[in-house]
């Protein structure tokens, strides 16, 4: 009978051992958050570089420079 109680307790506690702790969940969430922030920063940098290239290619053509503004606006929207 005592062995049955121990076995029953072990069966009930086994699923809990596989669960992550709240601290582990928080760390995982922070990791994903940092990765997402890194991706946004990378995208912003890419858009700014495209803007700079576009402006360089536009020379003094004001219409082309205005068309380049879409890159800058998109980068600012990611702030």
Please give the chain's pLDDT, 79 residues, in tens: 565 566 565 666 566 556 678 888 899 999 999 999 999 999 999 999 999 999 999 988 999 999 999 999 999 998 8
Q: What's residue 64's pLDDT?
A: 92
Rounded-to-integer distance, Cα 66 and Cα 43, Å: 21
Q: Are 72 and 44 in contact (CB under 8 A)?
A: no
Domains of the chain, residue spans: 23-77
Q: pTM score, two decimals?
A: 0.66
Q: What are the C-alpha distances in Å from 21 to residues 18, 25, 44?
A: 10, 6, 35
């Amino acid at each position: 009978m005592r062995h049955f109680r121990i076995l029953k307790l072990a069966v009930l506690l086994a699923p809990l051992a596989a669960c992550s702790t709240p601290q582990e969940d928080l760390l995982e969430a922070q990791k994903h958050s940092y990765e997402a922030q890194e991706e946004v920063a990378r995208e912003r940098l890419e858009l700014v570089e495209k803007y700079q290239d576009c402006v360089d290619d536009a020379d003094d053509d004001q219409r082309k420079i205005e068309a380049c503004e879409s890159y800058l606006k998109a980068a600012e929207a990611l702030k």
